[in-house]
Amino acid sequence: MYRYHKKEISKATIVLLTGGIGLSDLFFMHFDRFAQDFSVITFDYLRCYPTMAEFADAVAELMKVLGLKVWLVGQSLGGAAAQIIAKRHPEIVDGLVLSNTAAVQGCGGSLEYFEGMKKRQAKSRRMIKIIPWGLAKKAMMKAIAKKTDKLPPEHKTLFEDLADVMFQMLTKEHELHMIDMLIDCGNHLNIEKKDFVFLADRVMLVINEDDETFSAETKQQLIDFMTAPKVIKEKDGGHLGALMDVENYAASVVRYIKERE
């Protein structure tokens, strides 16, 4: 299942790829905002596509059926998914917009991040299978709340309300699936800088400097991984920065894409 808003007068179509929760409703405000300027597609990470490769191939097949080349707009895990899709199916990709993610390659800060993530997610998987699902969701919500501590009160309240809705929708089976998808990203670290040369000057990176999910080395490695990227650095907002200030984030993305369409 997917959601598709078709804007006849727009030359660009964007695909919104959400982060680790894997539920596209997390981007519902972004979908509404981007639909003012572009055609927009989004979808959940369905369990019928259990690996990143199968997910990437399914996305590509859908774009071919619809006859589209698209901008992949991904946050966190969505940024990694965008790179894997672009590597496997460059023919359907017009450009990338990546926020608070890592270069999918097996060296330096990226390798350290993906190895650490694999260990953390394997631990989470074991815990979720053991403890009651209600308690597991409370622990995850507490972790999310901690990530929003430094946000302005209005942004904190908005995101916590949104997270509450998302966690009501989240099932144990879907969370285990998303953990497996995160771990599976480590099977795609053979992507090279040359794989994205065809997107020279068609990659925008949004990096929150206070995002503690990634080291300074990992953030710089992502910048170096792309050819002539547009880099926007935000001082605050943390890992979820692109989800907080929707209007400013969307305005920058819209401007960047329109300049190239």
Q: Tell me the per-residue pLDDT of 23-72, one tens digit each, with 9 for 90 and over.
A: 988 888 899 999 999 999 999 999 999 999 999 999 999 999 999 999 99
82-113 residues labelled b (16+ CB within 10 A) or e (exposed): bbbbbbbbeebbbbbbbbbbbbbbeebbbbbb
What's 234's domain CATH number?
A: 3.40.50.1820
Q: Would 145 be classed as within a structural domain?
A: no
Q: Would 30 be classed as within a structural domain?
A: yes
What is the per-residue pLDDT for 150? Answer: 66
Q: Would 205 be classed as within a structural domain?
A: yes
Please tell me the total count of domains within the chain.
1
Under the banding of pLDDT at 50, 70 and 90, the label for residue 261 is confident
Q: How far apart are CA 189 and CA 186, in angstroms?
A: 6
Q: Tell me the per-residue pLDDT of 175-213, one tens digit each, with 9 for 90 and over.
A: 999 999 999 999 999 999 999 999 999 999 999 998 889
Average of per-residue pLDDT values in the chain:
91
Q: Tell me the per-residue pLDDT of 206-243, one tens digit each, with 9 for 90 and over.
A: 999 988 899 999 999 999 999 999 999 988 877 877 87
**In the predicted structure, residue 169 carries a pLDDT above the cut 80:** yes
Q: Tell me the per-residue pLDDT of 74-94, one tens digit each, with 9 for 90 and over.
A: 999 999 999 999 999 999 999
What is the per-residue pLDDT for 158? Answer: 72
Q: Would 122 be classed as within a structural domain?
A: no
**In the predicted structure, residue 162 carries a pLDDT above the cut 80:** no
- Cα dist. 191→83, 86, 91, 195 in Å? 8, 10, 16, 7
What is the per-residue pLDDT for 167? Answer: 79
Q: How far apart are CA 188 and CA 106, in angstroms?
A: 8
DSSP secondary structure, 151-193, as one string: S-HHHHHHHHHHHHHHHHH--HHHHHHHHHHHHHGGGGTT--G
Supply the pTM of this predicted model: 0.93
Q: Would 39 be classed as within a structural domain?
A: yes
Q: Would 236 be classed as within a structural domain?
A: yes
144 vs 2, which has greater pLDDT?
A: 2
**In the predicted structure, residue 153 carries a pLDDT above the cut 90:** no
Domain of 199 in residue numbering reads as 3-110+182-258
Q: Would 129 be classed as within a structural domain?
A: no
**In the predicted structure, residue 156 carries a pLDDT above the cut 90:** no
* CB-based contact 43:2 (threshold 8 Å): yes
Q: Would 118 be classed as within a structural domain?
A: no
